């Protein structure tokens, strides 16, 4: 996915975040992420624990989110 512009705050749990071509980051309660505009990335809960997040994206004429291809099991499994 990509955002026109976006930020997220992680309010509970454990998860992962990765921008295309960069290392995977572990997300924990209290972490915040600012995703640069039009940057392909993915994020999700860890296999052991859920993730609760609040995302803030501005309303834009072309939409808030552009969905890309799903994260493969291999890529997700590699994040552990």
* Domain harbouring 40, CATH code: 2.60.120.10
4-38 pLDDT, tens digit per residue, is 456 677 778 999 989 999 999 999 998 888 888 78
Residue 80: per-residue pLDDT: 52
* 78 has a pLDDT exceeding 90: no
> In which domain, by residue range, is 14 found?
2-77
- Coil, helix or strand for 31? coil
Rg of the chain taking only CA atoms, in angstroms: 12
Tokens of 53: 């997040």
How far is the C-alpha of 25 from the C-alpha of 67, rounded, in Å? Answer: 20
Number of structural domains in the chain: 1
Tokens of 61: 């004429």
């Amino acid at each position: 996915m990509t955002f026109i512009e976006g930020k997220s705050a992680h309010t509970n749990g454990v998860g992962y975040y990765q921008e295309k071509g960069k290392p995977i980051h572990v997300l924990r309660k209290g972490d915040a992420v600012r995703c640069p505009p039009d940057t392909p990335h993915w994020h999700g809960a860890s296999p052991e624990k859920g993730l609760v997040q609040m995302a803030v994206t501005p309303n834009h004429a072309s939409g808030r989110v552009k969905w890309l291809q799903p994260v493969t099991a291999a890529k997700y499994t590699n994040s552990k």
